[in-house]
Every structure is written in C-alpha cells, then in structure tokens.
Amino acid sequence: MALYRAGLQRPLHFFPRSSWEYVATGANLGRARNKWLNYWRPAFGESQFAAYRLALRGVQDPLDESFIALAERILAPLLAHVADPRL
C-alpha cells in the first residue's frame, strides 16, 4: 500500500521489463538499460512507451537509485521464489 500511495503522488521508477532484466541478471544495470532503450530496435525499447514518456518528461535518467531500490524490493522476492530449487 505504501508504494501505491507513493505512486499516486509521483511517478515511481518501476518499469516491469527493465526491472526484471536487472534482477534476473544479478543486478546488471547495463542489461536493464539495454532493455529500457533497446539499442538494436529503438522503437521496441521500454522507454518508448507513451505513458512512460509522458510521466517521465524532463527526467534525465529514470534508471537511477530509485529504480534499483524498487526493482529489488518488488521483483527480487519473486525471482527468489521462482528460482527456488525446492519447488
């Protein structure tokens, strides 16, 4: 609920595809940035989504400390559960 409330006040720097790439590759920010920008096919990068472009206008680098903290807070437990060999 705290993240929901914060998201109502300002855009959260949580982007599902880039965040998952960051967490799944062991905190590799370069891989997350590739998912965000998609250097090979820029039209398909997550940064091109209209909602993100509107909400983040004027933000220099949305993949900042806030992005890292949210990715780890939201997706790291999910990844740990999915990757648990006991399942």
In a domain, 43, yes or no: yes
- 22 domain residue, yes or no: yes
In a domain, 31, yes or no: yes
Q: Is residue 71 part of a domain?
A: yes
Does 48 map to a domain?
A: yes
Report how many domains make up the chain.
1
Structure confidence by residue, pLDDT tens digits, 8-58: 999 999 999 999 999 999 999 999 999 999 877 877 899 999 999 999 999
* Residue range(s) defining the domain that contains residue 24: 13-82
Q: Using CA atoms, how far apart are residues 28 and 20, in angstroms rounded to an integer? A: 10
Give the C-alpha separation, 46 to 34, whole Å: 9
Decide if 7 is inside a domain: no
Written as one letter, the residue type at 42 is P
What pLDDT is attached to residue 22?
A: 97
pLDDT for residue 84 is more than 80:
no
